[in-house]
Amino acid sequence: MINKKRLVKTFNKLVRIDSLSLREANVVRYVQRELRRLGIRSTQVGRPSGGDTGSLLASLPGRGPTIMLNAHLDTVSPGKNIKPRERNGVIRSDGTTVLGADNKAGVAAILEVLRTIKRKKLAHPPLQIIFTVAEEIGLVGAKALPVKALKADYGFALDGGAINKILNQAPSQVNLTALIIGQAAHAGVHPEAGVNAIRVASEAIAKMKIGRIDRETTANIGVIKGGKATNIIPDEVEIRGEARSHDPAKLRRQVKQMTGQLRQACRRHGARLKLKTERLYRSFAVKPDSPVVQAVLAGMKKQRLTPLIKPSGGGSDANIFNAVGVPTVVLGVGARHLHTTQEELVVRAFVRGTELLLAIITGAHHG
């Protein structure tokens, strides 16, 4: 029932529209035009600080439980001037950029489902459609949405990979930013007068538990910046990292361990520390017997897919929707190697994932 040619054409159009985080105005205009052609009105809401547009919120009346459909409009870098190319049933970029299937594939799938529903006049439940901005930089767009506008009974966030996976859990994430302040000095004349901020940072990082901590917990130091020249003892270093866990107590312990090593290293060397920790989002866990998971299982049965219910290691807009009371799981639409220049979209899986979404929706119209 899904029009494969139209679906792929929409995806290729979408990825050619630059939409790095906080710069999604052009793709918002395109999606609004497509919705308008279907007779669906949409409004821009929750414009984040520094952004050029808000997220898109639309609805389609129907009968049954209200279902939310979500995909985010922004892409990661390098994401400008994307040139999609299809070969042997797989769409890739030219290798100089990401493809943008994360998450233009989700956007295209939702638009195609809406077109099919409208043009085939299919019975369906009430739909709330949310296309968010600035997801890739900490779910900023979803956080900026007015909570009172989110009224669905449950929802689906289309974001990523294998179409038979139901991601029903995701961790909390805490970001850490530390500025270590030492003392500058001439490295060749009187190095003993300096306090080397890079050394302090290195010692702290070397004693941190990072990587895979356990089945539920991960941690990383991803950015380190500092130093001016080889002949100057560096007086400032900034490091940025994160910790994630499905278990709140484990997350607290992990953050305490990382920040503790920073404090100890600074005390040993007489450096000062400016430290900031920020919770980006909270974990969620949707039970397998919940209505939202059962709706997906029913759709997968129709599509003859073998379901795999599993936790995710990353965050998504689903974290925000669950936190405000809309049970939401994450579904894939065939994208692979996300956030890399090797990103690709398997067309067959893309079509089947879109058909699955349609099957879920039409199967829920009776309530």
pLDDT mean over 92-103: 97
pTM above 0.85, yes or no: yes
**d(C-alpha 320, C-alpha 145), whole Å:** 10
8 A C-beta contact, residue 51 and residue 112 = no
Q: How confident is the model at residue 301 (pLDDT cuts 50, 70, 90)?
A: very high
**Residue 228 main-chain phi, psi, to 5 deg:** -120, -35
pLDDT score of 3 more than 70: yes
Torsional sign, CA 256, 257, 260, 262: negative
pLDDT score of 365 more than 80: no
Type of residue at 37: R
**Residue from 112, 135, 235, 317 carrying the catalytic annotation:** 135
Domain boundaries, the chain: 4-170+283-363, 173-281
CATH number of 173-281, picked from 3.30.505.50, 2.60.40.10, 3.30.70.360, 1.10.3720.10: 3.30.70.360
Q: What is the mean pLDDT of the chain?
A: 96
pLDDT score of 347 more than 80: yes
Does residue 74 have an active-site annotation?
Answer: yes
Q: Is 341 exposed, middle or buried (0-12, 13-18, 19+ CB in 10 A)?
A: middle
Other Cβ atoms less than 10 A from the Cβ of 62: the count is 18
Give the pLDDT of residue 160. 72
**d(C-alpha 121, C-alpha 118), whole Å:** 5
pLDDT score of 183 more than 90: yes
**Residue from 34, 74, 153, 343 carrying the catalytic annotation:** 74
4-15 and 101-120 are packed helices; what angle lies between their axes, rounded to 10 degrees? Answer: 140
What topology is assigned to 4-170+283-363 in CATH? Aminopeptidase (3.40.630)
pLDDT mean over 216-226: 97
8 A C-beta contact, residue 36 and residue 125 = no
**d(C-alpha 358, C-alpha 231), whole Å:** 64
Question: By percentage, how much of the chain surpasses pLDDT 70?
Answer: 99
Q: How confident is the model at residue 364 (pLDDT cuts 50, 70, 90)?
A: confident
Does residue 214 have an active-site annotation?
Answer: no
**d(C-alpha 328, C-alpha 316), whole Å:** 10
pLDDT mean over 38-56: 96
pLDDT mean over 267-280: 97
8 A C-beta contact, residue 242 and residue 175 = yes
- DSSP label at 107? H
Question: By percentage, how much of the chain surpasses pLDDT 90?
Answer: 97
8 A C-beta contact, residue 293 and residue 331 = no
Torsional sign, CA 109, 112, 118, 121: negative
Question: What is the maximum span of the chain, computed from C-alpha positions, in angstroms?
Answer: 81
Helices (DSSP H) in the chain: which residue ranges? 4-15, 25-37, 101-120, 140-143, 197-206, 248-269, 291-302, 317-323, 347-363
pLDDT mean over 49-70: 96
Top pLDDT among 365 and 358 is at: 358
Helices (DSSP H) in 270-290: which residue ranges? none
Q: How do the residues of the chain divide into helix, strand and coil, expressed in percent and rounded to 5?
A: 35, 30, 40
8 A C-beta contact, residue 106 and residue 45 = no
**d(C-alpha 323, C-alpha 1), whole Å:** 35
- DSSP label at 157? E
Q: How confident is the model at residue 124 (pLDDT cuts 50, 70, 90)?
A: very high
8 A C-beta contact, residue 75 and residue 84 = no
